[in-house]
Amino acid sequence: MDNAVAAAGMVGAAHDFSMWGLFMQADFIVKSVMIMLFGLSIWCWAIIIEKFLRLRRLNGAATKFEDNFWSGGSLDTLYDKIGGTPQEPMSAVFGAAMREWRRTRDIGGTMSERSGSLMQRIDRVMDVTVNREMTRVERQMTVLASTAATAPFIGLFGTVWGIMNSFQSIALSKNTSLAVVAPGIAEALFATALGLVAAIPAVIAYNKITRDLDRYGQRLDDFATEFSAIISRQIEGRD
């Protein structure tokens, strides 16, 4: 009995149960799972930080543009100031509508003859611009969604593989002591933990960023609707 306890102690002491030790002692498959999950976690955090900073910057820029837009100045002056290279989505929506409006004015003729088709074209270009800009802002959101959905299962695969190794150790050593199976189980649980570490922030951030993107997209849609009404009134005033 004493010999068995001593042997178990020697086996336990031979294994390093720190996170680095569990990684280094894991077999190739479990180690590959750990590396994949760690890489996904780093990638997700980079996306999360970038999205939060970008949304804050975009909302600030939209507020600044709206202040200029509603200041009472000329729309043509504001368009000339922005130029053909708007720096944020809301000014891009404004610029697209103004370009279409200017093209129609330059053709000549009465506005009433073309007001219906003009408003349709302006609304269409603003919708296309909103969709294009939101597609750019939403880029890489699928990474968060995919990580949130798959990381726990990837970690579970590493868990199952580690437990299989533990049972193989029992079969080979013909020893059922905890010291024999503990290293494999510890590696398995570590893989599960890494899966959760990657998935949980991805789920929380995906839900939060998605809500923020929806609010920002609605802000662009509201601006497009208001600007369309302004152009419609100006067209009617020219008739």
How large is the average pLDDT for residues 199-215?
95
- Say what percent of the chain tops pLDDT 90: 41
Range in 10-24, 83-97, 149-163 with the lowest mean pLDDT: 10-24
Residue 140 DSSP label: T
Quote the pTM value.
Answer: 0.79
Residue tagged 């929506």 (tokens): 93
| Rounded distance between C-alpha atoms, residue 105 and residue 127, angstroms | 21
Please write the tens of the pLDDT for every residue from 26-73: 677 878 888 899 999 999 999 999 999 999 999 999 999 999 888 888
The burial of 151, by beta-carbon neighbours within 10 Å (0-12 exposed, 13-18 middle, 19 or more buried), is given as buried
Residue tagged 């970008």 (tokens): 54
How large is the average pLDDT for residues 104-109?
62
- CA 182: distance to chain centroid? 38
Asked if pLDDT for residue 112 goes beyond 60, the answer is no
In contact, 127 and 96? CB cutoff 8 Å: no
HSE (CB half, 13 Å, CA atoms) of 131? 6
Asked if pLDDT for residue 109 goes beyond 60, the answer is no
- Say what percent of the chain tops pLDDT 70: 75
Residue 9: other Cβ atoms inside 10 A: 11
How does the average pLDDT of the chain come out, rounded? 81
Range in 2-6, 14-18, 130-134 with the lowest mean pLDDT: 2-6
Please write the tens of the pLDDT for every residue from 151-199: 999 988 888 887 777 777 676 766 666 666 666 677 777 888 889 999 9
How large is the average pLDDT for residues 108-136?
79
| Rounded distance between C-alpha atoms, residue 51 and residue 212, angstroms | 10
Asked if pLDDT for residue 24 goes beyond 60, the answer is yes
How large is the average pLDDT for residues 92-106?
84
Asked if pLDDT for residue 114 goes beyond 60, the answer is no
